Amino acid sequence: MYTAGIDMGARSVKVVLLEELKVEGAPQLKWGVKQTHIMFPEDLDMDVAAEKVYGEALQAAGLTREQIGRVVATGTGRKQVKFAQDSVTEVSAGARGAVFMCPSARTVIDVGAEEGRGIKAAPDGKVVDFAGNEKCAAGAGAFAESMSRALQLPLADFGAASLRSQKTIPMNAQCTVFAESEVVSLIHANTPKEDIAKAVLDAVASRVTAMARRVGIEEDVVLIGGMVHNPGFVQSLKNALGVEKVLLPEMPEYIGALGAALVATEAHA
């Protein structure tokens, strides 16, 4: 039995197809049968994009639409996914997917492009509570992306650079737009890029940690979303949270889509 989860994000669409296997009577999920994702082209409608990616995923999996028992959508554009039978919030999907991948996780940190949030999850992946700062770029991944452009340092190198920093420098600006100017001034003052990179990642980590404190930080903490690939951010996050361990699941950008697919599987059963 196959199900599909579609995460219709602001920047990209992620699709996960799940195959439920029955092993000795107990259902097991073989996750990640196939997944595809595409950078959301600005001139495609959201539901056109969703259709396109879904079609690509099915093709890559060698499946037809009829074989998919249920489709659930999540993400900011979830209502635009017309062919989904249901939708769930990113918060629910994120928690479900994160706990499935990391069963010991109780606090989920999700730093998306447009929002940084903390989610308290129960052992079954249900959301106990959550807190986030929506619609302010400074509290989300958009901050780091912006500074990466201002520093002319690709995000991939950003993390490595920040780990080399020996110094904590203050960042006064709390707004992405003002911070760009501050970074430019720091560069003119010959501040090492490593120190600036660290200050930027520390800033994002501290903001999302403050949100997580509103739900209470309970270990294990798991980080989901693209920032998982940024070791500098992971370190900043550990420092801000005051924990030694932050779990980093595989294919972290797909956790939301996975969570939606898991919800689809449960509903279909």
Partner 1 sequence: MIANYGYKDGSGEYYISIDTDKCTQCPIEHACTRACPKDMYEIITDDYDDRVAAIKAPHRKTLAYDCTGCKPAGGHTTLPCTTACTPGAIRHSW
Partner 2 sequence: MNTTAAAAPAAGEKKEYWRWQESVWVDETKNWRDAKFITAGIDVGSVSSQAVVMCDGELYGYSSMRTGSNSPDSANNAIKSVLEKAGGMTLDDLQFVVGTGYGRVNVPFANKAITEIACHARGANYMGGSSIRTILDMGGQDCKAIHCDERGKVTNFLMNDKCAAGTGRGMEVIADLMQIPIADLGPRSFDVDVEPPAVSSVCVVFAKSEALGLLKAGWSKNKVVAAYCQAMAERVVSLLERIGVEKDFFITGGIAKNPGVVKRLERLLKLESVQTKYDSQIAGALGAALFGYTLVQKQGVPAKAASG
Would you give the binding string for partner 1 spanning residues 164-203, x where CB under 8 A is met?
----------xx----------------------------
Q: Which is nearer to partner 2, 134 or 250 (CB)?
A: 134
- 206 binds, options partner 1, partner 2, none, Cβ within 5 to 8 A by partner type: partner 1
Q: How far is the CB of 181 from partner 2 (least distance, A)?
A: 8
Position 130 contacts partner 1 (CB under 8 A): yes
**CB atoms near residue 23 (< 10 Å):** 8
Indicate left, alpha or beta for 63 from its phi (over 0: left) and psi (-120 to 50: alpha). beta
Q: Which helix (H) or strand (E) holds 236?
A: helix 231-241
Within 13 Å, how many C-alpha atoms sit on residue 248's CB side? Answer: 13
Cα-flanking dihedrals φ and ψ of residue 40, to 5°?
-65, 110
Q: Is 65 in the site for partner 2 (CB under 8 A)?
A: no
Site for partner 2 contains 21 (CB under 8 A)? no
Distance between CA atoms of 157 and 26, rounded to whole angstroms? 44
By CB under 8 A, the residues from 158 to 177 that bind partner 2 are 174-177
Among 114, 157, 219, 220, binds partner 2 (CB under 8 A): 114
Q: Is 247 within 8 Å of 104 (Cβ atoms)?
A: yes
d(CA 118, CA 105): 12
Among 137, 186, 227, 237, binds partner 1 (CB under 8 A): 137
Number of residues that bind partner 2 (CB under 8 A): 13
* 184 part of the interface to partner 2, by CB under 8 A: no
> CB–CB of 128/120 below 8 Å?
yes
The region of 84-92, 134-142, 213-221, 261-269 touching partner 2 under the rule CB under 8 A is 134-142
> Could you tell me which residues come within 8 angstroms of residue 92 by beta carbon, excluding any fewer than 6 positions away?
74, 126, 127, 259, 263
For residue 15, the partner it binds in partner 2, partner 1, none, with Cβ less than 5 to 8 A by kind, is none
Which of 132/252 has CB closer to partner 1? 132
Residues within the interface to partner 2 (CB under 8 A): 42-43, 114, 135-137, 142, 146, 174-178
